[in-house]
Amino acid sequence: MGIGIKELIVILVIVMLVFGTKKIRGIGSDVGGWIRDFKKALKDGQEEGQTDIADSKRVIEGEAVVTGEKKNG
């Protein structure tokens, strides 16, 4: 019913014949870079979100927050 190992091997051989091994290596390298950048952006976004949450808690507790610095007022 689904795609088995034999079908995947046939597809891989056809792709190698069409694109060549150098092109496939380049594509693999590009995809790896995209995944790495995506993970880094995801991590940076989570860290930024944690900072925003901490700033929000300070505001709720009555502390003024200006550009990430506490300011008693």
Instruction: Determine the Cα–Cα distance for residues 61 and 73; give it in Å rounded to an integer.
Output: 12
Place of tokens 């019913």: 1
> How many whole angstroms from its chain centre is CA 56?
26
> Whole-prediction pTM value?
0.45
pLDDT value of position 73: 47
pLDDT value of position 35: 92
How far from 24 is each of 1, 10, 15, 30, 63, CA to CA, in Å?
28, 16, 8, 10, 55
Instruction: Determine the Cα–Cα distance for residues 54 and 56; give it in Å rounded to an integer.
Output: 5
pLDDT in tens, the chain (73 residues): 688 999 999 998 898 888 888 888 888 889 999 999 999 888 887 777 667 667 676 666 666 555 555 555 4
